[in-house]
Amino acid sequence: MHRYFIFLSLFLASCASIKTVEPLKKGEVKATADLGGPMINFNGIPLFMPLTSIGSAMGISDNVSVFASIHTTSLMYKTFQLETSANTSLFRFDKSGFSANWGAYTFCGLRESKWAFYPYADINYYLHYNNKAHFAYFSFTSMMELHRKKAFDEPVTKRIIPHLTLGHRWVKDNSEWGLELKYLSFNKDNRNIVVDYIAPGNKGSFGFYLSYAKKF
């Protein structure tokens, strides 16, 4: 069961979009919902795994925001998954900027007392255009593998699990829609596993994600 739990935690760790790219304004709050996951071939049909999460973010200052979410799909597998992060503005220009997310995924097995912890960091570049609040962005994510062994007692050979993200946010006064395409775990071989991932070559998987946020 412990080996299955570690496998499940790695599988579910990529089940949401990047929560905060540009820091919120001080005191601003938003509730979020995500749908999406790795893309797979299912009987010859390309699909994305419909993994879900809900959460909320708050602006501590104009340069720092904090976020927390619960991944609801994990609960179906009797695993409590919590994601927490802080978003920090690094550089701001007229219509663009760089930011960083510092966070972690924490997993707790509800069937037995097993847990897992995966810290991560995102470096984001975002660009506003047409004098609107909408923006496109590119992100590089590094998630740390702290376990000595993977599922089924296989040794861990790579401590960094990298992701690339290309996304867009449509921003309105009280809401925000998001669309992301990810290239997940692009340093890991995706052959000889049960799921047929969609990816260029034999490394990683593409991921597709939709998000919605309500601002308060």
**Tell me: the pLDDT tens digits for 53-88?**
999 999 999 999 999 999 888 888 788 889 999 999
Q: What is the pLDDT of residue 215?
A: 92
Q: Are strands 175-189 and 203-215 parallel, antiparallel or unpaired?
A: antiparallel
pTM: 0.87
C-beta atoms surrounding 5 within 10 Å = 21
The predicted-structure confidence for 172-203, as pLDDT tens digits, reads as follows: 999 999 999 999 888 877 776 667 888 888 88
- Amino acid identity, residue 200? P
The percentage of residues in the chain with a pLDDT greater than 90, rounded to a whole number, is 49
Other C-beta atoms within 10 Å of 59: how many?
19
The domain locations on the chain are 2-215
Of 13-17, 97-101, 112-116, 153-157, highest mean pLDDT: 97-101
Class of domain 2-215: mainly beta
pLDDT score of 9 more than 50: no
Is residue 1 over pLDDT 70? no
**pLDDT for res 61:** 97
CA distance 76 to 145: 24
pLDDT at 14: 59
What are the structure tokens assigned to 90, written together?
Answer: 């690094």
Strand partners, 212: 33, 177
Whether residue 6 is predicted with pLDDT greater than 50 in this model: the reply is no
How is 114-177 classified by DSSP, letter by letter?
A: -EEEEEEEEEEEEEE-TTSS-EEEEEEEEEE---SB-GGGPBP--SEEEEEEEEEEEE-SSEEE
CA angle 78, 82, 87 (to 5 degrees): 160
Distance, in Å, from the CA atom of 163 to the CA atom of 150, rounded to the nearest integer, reads: 19
Candidate ranges 84-88, 143-147, 202-206; pick with highest mean pLDDT: 84-88
Query: Measured between alpha carbons, how far is 174 from 142 in angstroms, rounded to an integer?
Result: 31
